[in-house]
Amino acid sequence: MLAVEISKLLKPEKTILISSAQTKEQLPRLYRFIGRLKIIPLLPKFCFQPPAFIAIKLFSAKNKTLIKAILKDTNPQFSKWAAQAISTWDNTTTIPNTIHIHGNKDFIIPIPKDSKIHVIEGGGHFMIVENADEIIPFLQF
């Protein structure tokens, strides 16, 4: 989503999105509803520190050790900020020349219904690490 916002300013030759959304409409309605409720700032930080078993499921992660390490090193204040930013993101602009790669097992940002998306079978939100070999061919242009 940051790549989309930067692309709107810099207008690069290509924009690559992996496990992301290009517009707010591609985000789950629940996220947008939560953003409209403005409740995230009211929630305590511990709500943004999920237990490892939940994070592993949400990220469809095979590398449980790495997810646990990432969770341990992630500042819950950052996670809270990110949840707020995602839930209130208001972009409606599609970016030309975008390469959008998404896994069909992404439970964080489910695959949008768009024919221009390159789908990685079995790829979850953590596929940038776990499915790198399948992603690389889409980046060789």
Residue corresponding to tokens 């990220």 = 59
Residue corresponding to tokens 């439970």 = 107
Going by C-beta distance under 8 Å and a sequence separation of 6 or more, which residues neighbour residue 79?
48, 49
Q: What single DSSP character describes residue 24?
A: G
Residue corresponding to tokens 């509803």 = 33
User: Could you give all domains of the chain from N- to C-terminal order, each with its CATH number?
Assistant: 2-139 (3.40.50.1820)
Q: What is the pTM of this model?
A: 0.90
CA dist list (Å): 134 to 2, 11, 50, 105 = 23, 27, 28, 14
pLDDT in tens, the chain (141 residues): 999 999 999 999 999 999 999 999 999 999 999 999 999 999 999 999 999 999 999 999 999 999 999 999 999 999 999 999 999 999 999 999 999 999 999 999 999 887 789 999 999 999 999 999 999 999 987
State the Cα–Cα distance between residues 97 and 14, nearest whole angstrom.
5
